[in-house]
Chain A
Amino acid sequence: MKAPFSDFLASRADGLKKLVSLLERNYSYVSLLATDSPGFALAASRKVKSVSWKTMTTERGCVVRVYRDGQYSEVAFNMYDPEKPEEIRDRIEAALEEQRSLLAELGIKPYETPMLPDEPETLFVEMETGRLPEKEDIAGLISSLSDISAKGIAEGASDGSPILECQVRAQSTHISKMFLTKNRDLRQSYVYSEGTVACVGVRDDQNKMSYEGISGRVGPELFDDLGALLPKTQEVLADVLSAEKPEPGEYDVITAPDVTGLIAHEAFGHGVEMDMFVKKRALGADYIGKRVGSSHVTMHEGALCDDSVTGYAFDDEGTLAGDTVEIEKGILKTGICDALSALRLSAKPTGNGKRENFEHKVYTRMTNTLFDSGEDTLEDMIASIKSGYLLRGSNSGMEDPKHWGIQCIVERGYEIKDGALTGKVISPVVMTGYVPDLLGSISMVSGDRGVYGNGGCGKGYKEWVKVADGGPYLKARARLG
């Protein structure tokens, strides 16, 4: 079925178009993004169950962007009378004039930027979904989540160790967005969902957690298979409970697709967000056309790259979604760009202008960040290593576009000796290094690929958006601690 575009937004479209038109009398460029995205989040654990109509991306509101005298300004609002666009216009103009008076008082000058183009475009996209979150059988789903949780606790980890807690989560959001200017009317609707199973066990008075997730640009039908995550989560818990601390040093490693995704995200995801080029905060700007990885490295970025949680049709500035080749056979080709940064850099926007929600500013943000697959097999990769680790489970990472440092906290490493897994596990593993060294050391790439869309991505320590990342197994050289 098609995910239907919001009736609410459709009913407000004429009034909001009128608002755009009214604002154009005082501003050279006006755009408006309106959102209406309901969704649910369910959780079940040993002692508590919860149902909420709130996810990371549920929202309803509007943001207006205006341009005058080289300066861009925005006003976000959500309470308004659609029958009185003049009243909204007055509120917006009064709020911005108050700010302008302060800026004038302090002698602040704008970062001069050309006016955005407003090429005519009409788009109406309703993407496929199996079911809708608004119509989901909540009773059935919470019961299913509770059963999975109870089963996990009853069975314990795969080695029989008791499970202290087993939390099962399911969330699904129906996104509807409408982007309006004088010449553009873009509307899209899609549903994405994500589910997780997390188990906690204790050994030597220390809690250890395992976690597995599924996600995609699909409806709540995704949760029909949620129970299949439990055995893997139980197995991983047994692994981390028996894990030893890593011996710091440099090792040959194989990164599983989720860890590969973390590297893609932290290394050349954040590293080529071109709003950072404008601020001269990214080394990547000086490396376009130069080698940044081995010839095994090809990386794509774009909402069109995968039907993931961030597989939209247009971004939050009304730029159509893209598929950008960032690195081709080790050579950095280009970055990703929001519309204002594109103007400032004389580049083309790539459909990566995203907001946390209607209240937040647009930044250049990632969508799907993926290493291309190769032709090796995991078995051959393991067989090629004399002493090293197979790294699985992506916990968190931190970008460093200015210095190309990389930090990835990986859940566990499986020891490889003389071309075979020994059964020894280390956890947690902090993988650090210099991005070109890490990417330059990639020597084998598997033929398969995984894409992961659970969790969110911040810019610095804020501005959380949905992203997905992944790729194949990679063999590389990395420093572990």
Chain B
Amino acid sequence: MDNKSYIEEIKEILTSSGADAWEITDTRETGWEFYFIRHALDQNRVRLVEHVRVKVYKELGDKEFLGSSSGEIPAGASRDEIASFVDGLLKNASYVKNAYYRLNQPEAGEKEENAPAPDVRAISRDFISAIREVPETESEDINSCELFITDVTTRFLNSEGIDVTNRYPSSMAEVVVNARKEGAEIELYRNYTSGECDAAALKDNLKRTMQTGRDKLMAAQTPNFGKMDVIFSTDAAVAIYQYFEDQMNASFKVHGFSRCEIGKSVLGEGDVPLTMTAVRTLPNSSKNTAYDPEGAPIRDTVLIEDGVAKNFLGSRQFSQYLGLAHSFIPGNIRVSGGTFSEEEIRSGRYLEIVEFSDFQVDAMSGDIAGEIRLAYYHDGSQVSIYSGGSVTGNMSEAGAHMRMSLEKRQYDTYEIPALTRLANLTIAGTQ
């Protein structure tokens, strides 16, 4: 049975199941993967998979409540097995009494005109070639890398008449770089996600990573600095902006985790001109789709403007609970509002942390935590290189005096200020 008739069969079963509403998400992926140890091929892999997920809805108590239950149709299931599976979902849906909401309705989205089908072979060639072209030296080289290139087709259908398809490339390159000096060797881990391969950006980033490796070999143990301004100049800064995105998420608001109010500052007493927009596309993002996973069209929408909450966004269930008229699950985020030049951001005494073992900003509490693997301490005139220790703080205090650079940088689905400076974080050293 071809894919079209398979989905039609599932649609027929759902339509006659007694469900009051239903959704189907059919995801087909052709994935090519290459694993290298140094420049030799450890393994090559292919993924040829399809996942059909369905969600059924049952109206309860005169449309006061809506029950739902979801699952993936087991691959290879017969028509009888699919019917039995749907029947089970429907039964479970009646046990789940959530406040009523409607499924998304058909609405035209902004489509890519003549978007070509992703060419996994060509993208794979670009990635492999780019990695091989990175200049290595006796003291800095690539230890290993893993490449994942996927042609993704997602079709979403629901009982309201939505039938939309997104097709896009999704890629990931995980690269480990080594640097060595006088018998000591360190490694740096990089994980790049994108749509296709941006060879120039990848090579440039890896060259900079090798410089970082050289610096790490010279690093001293981090002193106990106590309170200190910290500059974030790498992809770790995305976690800072994700925190704000989470505060504007409809689910977060409904659950009471976000205390943001439309028209009020999201930064407390602060006066930071942070502007955050959910955008349909960013160059070469791995999430450049016209529709969200629930079939809602994605349109550029401002979440925060000049530090003031403008719009919550999220899934249709929580969006309707908040009474949002046009909402969707954001894919790409653009942050603007930075007013400082690099020179202004880099003024005075600060610690620029460029490598963490892991850096987290807890969405729930705003707690900031990360172990420092490489940092540059600027005392106003001289620069010292440190490693070890940790940085901690809380966004509710640090965010209010955040400084953002005018210059921006993109990390796959986030375009953010190239430099972000948070005041008065705590640096626990290892000296």
Contacts and interface: CB of A to CB of B under 8 A. Distances in A.
Nearest to A49: B96
Nearest to A481: B428
B382 interface: no
A208 interface: yes
Given A78-B76, A95-B46, A405-B388, A139 B95 contact: yes
Contacts of B40: 108-112
A402 B184 CA distance: 11
A421 interface: no
A460 B255 contact: no
B69 to A, nearest CB: 4
Interface stretch (A69-77, A122-130, A381-389): A69-77
Interface in A189-217: 200, 205-209
A206 B32 CA distance: 44
Interface in B213-227: 224, 226
Contacts of B31: 359
A407 B391 CA distance: 11
Contacts of B92: 51, 138
Contact of A462 (B88, B129, B174, B257): B174
B315 to A, nearest CB: 11
A231 interface: no
Contacts of A75: 45-48
Contact of A111 (B42, B47, B365): B42
Q: Which of A58, A80, A279, A481 has the most CB of B within 10 A?
A: A481
A263 to B, nearest CB: 14
Contacts of A142: 95-96
Contacts of A207: 257, 364-366
B166 interface: no
Contacts of B255: 45-48, 164-165, 200
Given A61-B49, A78-B50, A279-B143, A53 B70 contact: yes
B74 interface: yes
Interface string A110-147: 11100000000000000000000000001100110000
Contacts of A430: 369-371, 390, 392, 428
A445 to B, nearest CB: 26
A206 B74 contact: no
Contact of A50 (B42, B96, B321): B96
A154 interface: no
A89 interface: no
A51 B96 contact: yes
A377 interface: no
B121 interface: yes
Interface SS of chain B = strand
A102 interface: yes
Interface residues of B, number: 90
B45 A361 contact: yes
A206 B89 contact: no
B76 A80 contact: yes
A280 B93 CA distance: 51
Interface in A48-86: 48-54, 58, 60-61, 71-80, 82
Interface in A136-184: 138-139, 142-143, 164-165
A165 B257 contact: yes
A206 B426 contact: no
Nearest to B29: A359
A165 B251 CA distance: 12
Contacts of B39: 108-109
A54 B430 CA distance: 44
A399 B189 CA distance: 12
Given A45-B255, A481-B389, A206 B96 contact: no
A423 interface: no
A65 B107 CA distance: 45
A437 B399 CA distance: 35
Contacts of A279: 37, 143-144, 176
A257 to B, nearest CB: 22
B262 interface: no
B48 to A, nearest CB: 5
A238 to B, nearest CB: 16
Given A80-B76, A165-B257, A207-B365, A49 B97 contact: yes
A245 B49 contact: no
Interface string B63-94: 00000111110111000000001001101110
Given A78-B75, A279-B176, A143 B95 contact: yes
A32 interface: no
Given A102-B121, A432-B388, A48 B98 contact: yes
Given A53-B72, A74-B45, A80-B76, A47 B371 contact: no
Contacts of A246: 392
A225 interface: no
A139 B35 CA distance: 46
Given A165-B255, A206-B394, A479 B44 contact: no
A121 to B, nearest CB: 24
11 contacts: A51-B69, A51-B70, A60-B75, A139-B95, A142-B95, A164-B255, A164-B257, A200-B364, A409-B360, A432-B390, A481-B428
